Structure 1
Amino acid sequence: MNGAFAGHGLYRVDELPLETLLKPGKNELLIEVAGYNSNSYYLLDQPSFLQAEIVSGDRVLAATGGEGFVEFIDRSRVQKVQRYSFQRTFSEVWRLPGREEPAVCAVGPALP
């Protein structure tokens, strides 16, 4: 939030209080979602997704699937890198400084 680290979550539901990180005027929240989509003993071959709401009191200020979020792909992370073995995942490789690119976002009902 506004350049400060607010927290992380791993494949679960989290509620993060952001009040202490707010500043007067416009605030910026950056949420990063990692999806490796690679079958291994370590990771599930599952598509990544984000479902989020920003709430103030009883009012929803922004929600995925609605308004208030802008999606983009961070191209500074290299997608095609060496894999050690089926048991181990790929190495993380980044090109810094990176560039941003608008993301294609599919909005629809959740699958059963």
Structure 2
Amino acid sequence: MPGKIKVKVLAGRNLPVMDRSGDTTDAYVEIKFGNTTYKTDVCRKSLNPQWNSEWYRFEVDDAELQDEPLQLRLMDHDTYSANDAIGKVYLNLNPLLLPGLPPPVKNIWTLEASLTSSAGAQG
């Protein structure tokens, strides 16, 4: 059955320093489901970015919900070199297919994830 998934990116907290020259990060988020990818605006020079983005909409069917995770990738924008990955998360959307959920599902889910780096600090 066709449906829609809406994703809104609000904020990040306590991001790692990715730009050593300014001890900050120029963060943005890539949101991907299936073959569709969206990107937030770049929030420059902040370790606690606030996007409060528009709603990103994905048209889906039940098979896609079963087979495809929603992917969120936090990135650091670099002007003169390749952008750096800060972290990513894959969300299994199968719970949206559980019996007993009234269509359409109108709940808002909040995702909070912490990133831990295994690399040593560089000075």
TM-score by shorter chain over 0.5: no
Name the structure where strand makes up a greater proportion of residues: 2
The bucket for the TM-score relative to the shorter chain is: 0.3 to 0.5
Name the structure where helix makes up a greater proportion of residues: 2
